[in-house]
Amino acid sequence: MSAPALVESSVVERVLESALSRGGDFAEVFVEDRSTSSAMLDQRKVEELSSGRDRGAGIRVVVGETTGFAHTANLSEKGLLAAAQAAAAVAREGGGGVREIALSTLRDYPTTAAIEPGDVDKAKKIELLLHADDVARSEGSAITQVQVGLGDSTRRFLVANSEGVFASDHQVRTRFNVICVALGDTGMQTGYRPVAGTRGFEILTNEAVEEAARGAARQAITKLDARPAPSGDLPVVLAGGSGGILFHEACGHGLEADAVLKDASVYAGKVGELVASPLVTLVDDGTVRGEWGYLAIDDEGRPSARNVLIKDGVLTDYMWDYLRSQKEGRASSGNGRRQSYQHLPMVRMTNTYLLEGTSDADEIVAQTPYGVYVAQLGGGQVNTATGDFVFGMTSAFLIEDGKITTPLRDCNLIGNGPDILKKVDAVATDFSMTPGTCGKDGQSVPVGTGQATMRLTGVTIGGTAA
Amino acid sequence: MSELLEQALQILERAKGDEHIEVYVSSGTDTEVQAYQGEIEKLSTASSSGIGIRVLTNTPTGARVGSAWVGSLDENAIAETLEQARDNVRFASEDEFIAFATPDGVSSVPMELRTDEVATTPLDDKISWAIELERLVRSGDTRIRQVDSANYSDYDVAAAVASTNGVRATYARSGAHISVEAIASDGKSDQTGWGLSVARSPRDLDLAKASAEAIRRSTRRLGATKPASMKCTVVFDPRSAATLFSVLGSALSGESVVRGRSFFADRVGEEVAMAGFTLLDDPTDARHFAASQFDGEGLACRRNVLIENGVLKGFVYDTVAGRRAGTVSTGSAVRGGISGSPTAGCRALQAVPGEYSQKELLAKVGNGLYVESMSGVHSGVNPISGDFSVGVNGLMIRDGELAEPVREITVASTLQRMLLDILYVGSDVEWLPGASAGQSLAIANIAVSGT
């Protein structure tokens, strides 16, 4: 069943016409209605349930190299027309004449959610939070604090532009996380596990919730025995899943066409060149149904796609949004995303992952005499112009004589994208993905990252031990 | 009375029976200009407003609270939001410490934090500054090969907080900001550097300073190499030091402390830092861009001394964290706009300046590492355990002077050790956007990881 359109098509047409009345080349209306809810359990107390609603429209007008943008929370025709005029103010020369916009039938994309968050009884959500708390505490008396969060968002949007795109999507995302604090002789350590998907409440099965709770608790307890991480250049084995963030940071951002076209990326002008180990095939794929970075269409109305960025070590393509693809006279790759109607779209990743290889995960460890095994990576960041990146190890161990041994205290890894890509010398078959939030120019969007267990011949570990 | 406060008061009138309501309402406009290759690349103008409502009901052993927000001041939306908040109350746990702020008799320090100039400055001027900023950087040094963004932005916002407990507060604030990122090249590799200038009025922005900073920071990193791992004294530049102070600020939040998530917990009265180190959270200092008359619960902001001459003096509290700790609010509730509920946090940190300029401080240090940008702070610093490990770019310090540039290294220690290992605090205070000001800060015994 489809909900009523956020704004009538005849109104959208008039708004687009108004946006182009001063002579713009391109106009777009993006109307969004987002409902969110969150609940947090801290030390077995439901702190506060919060519900939010954000509704409005962002209008952009492109004139030559210039983009004008305005947004409004007023979805009446009057409000939209005012925003259209504000956005059109960049078309300074004026006198574009009247361009008639006729939109075709709306292409409506259905949600991937089986159970809409809004249909779930709040009491049921709280039961789940308490259950996770019980499971986490049952892992051991060292667990002194448990924090469980549940958030969901239902985002309906409609996007129309002067080139005839007229589409709407209904994105439902659900996210659950458990943070545990364990207390030992050497102080406090934390553990963290998320469960998230572009899905409804159905992903929060008892099993999924229990696994997250146990995982977070065990991670915190294990780290109580952690000793300071080594300092310097060492071989690193990244466990399948969260290590994908390395590729998101190390090269994903540098393959976004906005950075490339400004020659602000180390990967600019390198299509067709060998930029990575032949074991590396990197894909950005918005079509992985239900994954955290899944999109039916991007925020410019373009269907998402599976885009191969690096194939067997050779750079094959960048990621594109409307604006950047126009400049190159090619099609968008479905990577135009924005945080909300209050933001302009730009090139963003969706689900970015390294295809699995042929090695055995255990063998990779066994064949590493000395190094660091990273079970979980935290956040990271990159300078696209230099390729330098850094990210946090939130669960790591020493590898000694081919065996995973002592847990290490939290610290950062640092490296350079082009460098690290060449240092991949083994990729296993145990592929998995992890949800994350990617921030760029002040906008946050949900992304997925993934890889199988793999080894890097040398990465700088920012520990304190000699 | 301000229109926003009036709007908030109207909602309070709808309180039913013994329910308590707190309303936070805000409204503002902002402008953003981005220049590229002498043209406007992006121009965005917007106004937005919204409201956050919290409803509290007392129970035999405490209270429950629920909240809801909406990005609109439309009457129907507000009514729906109030109903949502009411519904959410039913599911919250009873908690003896939950309460809304009660006026505490502390009066706010008068400050003028808003100017009409954001609104009255013609858009054409704002556009021309962004374009000029880019030009200054491009033409300032032949090694600058690209300026990938030159930005102007400003805001003019007003907010009000009111509650059925008698809180009545209004705020207004304006600000303008320019920033530019330069990419310098020596033909072999690239380096980047940011320059910025912040002011309450667009007229006070300093294009020359921002452009010179971007040029200096990007060009002097050219030819950077990765040094060998070592342990040495590290001098954090004012921006990096401000980031460090912000991290300390999160561990000094009463909220972290009462929840046992701060390495400072139970250490009040102890020597936690070098004897000459004093850290304050002082939103009443109008020089700080985060200065404010009122906190997120509508209580007057005040000057709070956190660490004085190396001794931990206390923490910042909002109402609830204060009650949990058996004390009262220090006027330090912060909230992340309409969608965030108040929590205890530092708003305007600053370290009391020491006697040395940066030049003198470098001379005192003699040899070490000068850090001028840090990355991975959100992933590499743990305010619970105090573990600290971040990626940095900077320059070596040799014989008291800045020497060759270095890159792709990390510096690591623990926050506990770093505070005790502070050698010198600079006199070169820079007022920056964000929750902390900063000045040069020398810290001994830091592990630097390179090759």
- Which of A190, A394, A460 is opposite residue B384, by nearest beta carbon? A190
Residues A402-458 pLDDT 10s = 999 999 988 888 888 899 999 999 999 999 999 999 999 999 999 999 999 999 999
A358 to chain B, minimum CA–CA distance in Å? Answer: 31
Tell me where in chain B the CATH 3.30.2290.10 domain(s) lie.
3-219
Give the pLDDT score at A30.
98
**8 Å CB contact of A342 and B46:** yes
Positions in chain A whose pLDDT score sits under 70: 1-4, 93-97, 466
A88 CA: distance to closest CA in chain B (Å): 10
Contact A56 B259 (CB under 8 A): no
Q: What digits encode the pLDDT tens for the residues B85-109?
A: 999 999 999 999 999 999 999 999 9
Mean pLDDT of B253-268: 92
Q: Which of A26-35, A179-188, B51-60, B366-375 has the lowest mean pLDDT?
A: A179-188
Judge: A126–B410 Cβ closer than 8 Å, yes or no: no
Which residue in A123, A381, A414 is closest to B410 by CB distance? A414
Looking at chain B, which residue has its C-alpha nearest residue A381? B376
Q: Which CATH superfamily is domain B3-219 in?
A: PmbA/TldD superfamily (3.30.2290.10)
What per-residue confidence (pLDDT) applies to B450? 85
B40, B71, B393 member nearest A66 (Cβ): B40
Q: Averaged over B22-32, what is the pLDDT?
A: 96
Mean pLDDT over B3-22 rounds to 95
Residue B365 pLDDT level (bands cut at 50, 70, 90): very high
Q: What percent of chain B has pLDDT over 70?
A: 100
How far apart are the CA of B71 and the nearest CA of chain A, in angstroms?
Answer: 5
For residue B109, count CB atoms less than 10 angstroms from its CB and return exposed for 0-12, middle for 13-18, buried for 19 or more.
middle
Q: Percent of chain B, pLDDT > 90?
A: 90
At B185 the pLDDT is 96
- HEC string of chain A? CCCCCCCCHHHHHHHHHHHCCCCCCEEEEEEEEEEEEEEEEECCEEEEEEEEEEEEEEEEEEECCEEEEEEECCCCHHHHHHHHHHHHCCCCCCCCCCCCCCCCCCEECCCCCCCCHHHCCHHHHHHHHHHHHHHHHCCCCCEEEEEEEEEEEEEEEEEEECCCCEEEEEEEEEEEEEEEEEEECCEEEEEEEEEEECCCHHHCCHHHHHHHHHHHHHHHHHHCCCECCEEEEEEEEECCCCCHHHHHHHHHHHHEHHHHHCCCCCCCCCCCCECCCCCCCEEEECCCCCCCCCCCECCCCCECCEEEEEECCEECCCECCHHHHHHHCCCCCCCEECCCCCCCCEECCCEEEECCCCECHHHHHHCCCEEEEEEEEEEEEECCCCCEEEEEEEEEEEEECCEEEEEECCEEEEEEHHHHHCCEEEEECCCEEEEEEEEECCEEEEEEEEECCEEEEEEEEECCEC
Chain B contact set for A145 (CB, 8 A): 259-261
For A71, the closest chain B residue by CA position comes to: B46
- Considering only CB atoms, A53 lies closest to which of B70, B259, B386, namely B70
Measure in Å the smallest separation between the Cα of B388 and chain A Cα atoms: 7
Q: How close B114 comes to chain A (CA, Å)?
A: 23
Task: Select the residue of B48, B407, B411 nearest A73 (Cβ to Cβ).
Answer: B48
| Pick among A153, A236, A390 to test the B interface (most B CBs inside 10 A) | A390
C-alpha distance from A383 to closest chain B C-alpha (Å):
8
The full set of domains in chain A, from first to last, is 9-223 (3.30.2290.10), 231-462 (no CATH)
Radius of gyration of chain B (CA): 24
CA distance B359 to chain A (A): 28
Specify the pLDDT at position B312: 98
Q: What is the pLDDT of residue B382?
A: 82
Please tell me the distance from the alpha carbon of residue A1 to that of residue A111, in angstroms, as a whole number: 10
CB-nearest partner of A460 from B46, B341, B450: B450
CB contact under 8 A, A190 and B411: no
Model confidence band, residue B25 (pLDDT cutoffs 50, 70, 90): very high
Q: Is the dihedral of CA B350, B352, B354, B355 positive or negative?
A: positive
Q: Do B85 and A51 touch (CB under 8 A)?
A: yes
pLDDT value at B309 more than 70: yes
Instruction: Give the mean model confidence (pLDDT) for residues B425-443.
Output: 96
Mean per-residue pLDDT, B277-281: 98
* Amino acid A260: pLDDT: 94
Interface probe with B: pick from A35, A324, A412, most Cβ of B within 10 Å: A412
ipTM: 0.90
- pTM of the entire predicted model: 0.93
Candidate from B190, B229, B408 with C-beta closest to A232: B229
Question: Is the model's pLDDT at B167 over the cut of 60?
Answer: yes
Which one, of A19, A63, A332, lies nearest residue A160 by Cα? A19
